Amino acid sequence: MAQVVLSNAMRFSVHGHVNGHAWTNIWDFLVAGPTTRPTAAAQKARLMLDTYADHIMPGVSAGTTVDRCSWVDLDSIDGETGEENDTSANNFPHAGSIIGDELPGNCAVLVRKITRGGRRYRNGRMYLPGVAESQTDGNLLLAAPLSNLQNALNTVFNVVNAPLPAGDTCILGVIGQAGGTPAVFNNVSSLQAEQLIATQRRRLRTHSGS
């Protein structure tokens, strides 16, 4: 059952592990077109898995995996749900590529989902786990890994906003709701990586959005 109801909206949760500890990244989209919604959601979930395998995992530690993608249709209160854990292009769980020790599981790279802002329109955020020690200097990402990650995120942004095979539109956004008011959807204009490594303590102190 959908916890938030918003016309044409779908929520995708990408799940994985880093050294046995679970992680999840949440992505919200408006999906509209000729494909039935369960079929479109399954296609999008497989696309999200391939997007991580092809563009995110090459930059994270080998002790990190992406495993599956679950989804819920937010178009109605009884929206359907599902999960994908395999694609024709990649095998899952799919491990990262950086060999060597990683930072503790409570450390991650903060990625901001940039929106227009406003009272009911907050920037979203998510945390990418599996930061390799070789990519850092103290609590900062080195310049080269940061640049590589940002380039990957620019590609991810374009890929996830592309139409599905039958032409269904997919628009990445952030869902906001305040004070019992109806949920609103604000388009994301870019994904931006922060150089300062986010720790669990910092994440709890600064968290807002999704």
- The model's pLDDT over 200-210, given as tens digits with 9 standing for 90+, comes to 654 444 443 44
Tokens (6 digits) for 104: 């503790």
Between 143-160 and 37-51, two packed helices, what is the crossing angle to 10 degrees? 160
**Domain assignment of residue 197, yes or no:** yes
pLDDT, residue 208, reads 37
**Domain assignment of residue 142, yes or no:** yes
- Cβ neighbors of 185 (< 8 A, separation 6 or more) are 6, 9, 28, 30, 173, 174, 175, 176
Q: How far apart are CA 89 and CA 14, in angstroms?
A: 17
What is the average pLDDT score of the chain? 91
Q: Which domain holds residue 178?
A: 9-206
Rounded mean pLDDT, 153-159: 98
User: Over 70: is that where the pLDDT of 124 sits?
Assistant: yes
Tell which wins on pLDDT, 194 or 104.
194
**Domain assignment of residue 164, yes or no:** yes
pLDDT, residue 199, reads 86
**Domain assignment of residue 202, yes or no:** yes
pLDDT band per the 50, 70, 90 thresholds, residue 181: confident
Q: What is the pTM of this model?
A: 0.91
**Domain assignment of residue 192, yes or no:** yes
Residues in the chain: 210
The answer to whether 16 and 95 are in contact (CB under 8 A) is no
pLDDT, residue 205, reads 43
Residue-wise pLDDT tens digits, 69-117:
999 999 999 999 999 999 999 999 999 999 999 898 889 999 999 997 6
Q: Please give the torsion angle defined by the CA atoms of residues 186, 7, 168 and 50, in that order, rounded to the nearest 10 degrees.
A: 60
Tell which wins on pLDDT, 178 or 21.
21
**Domain assignment of residue 1, yes or no:** no
The one-letter amino acid code at 51 reads T
The answer to whether 70 and 12 are in contact (CB under 8 A) is yes
The answer to whether 122 and 115 are in contact (CB under 8 A) is yes
Number of folded domains that form the chain: 1
What is the per-residue burial (b if ≥16 Cβ within 10 Å, else e) of 191-206?
A: bbbbbebbeeebeeee
**Domain assignment of residue 4, yes or no:** no
**Domain assignment of residue 148, yes or no:** yes
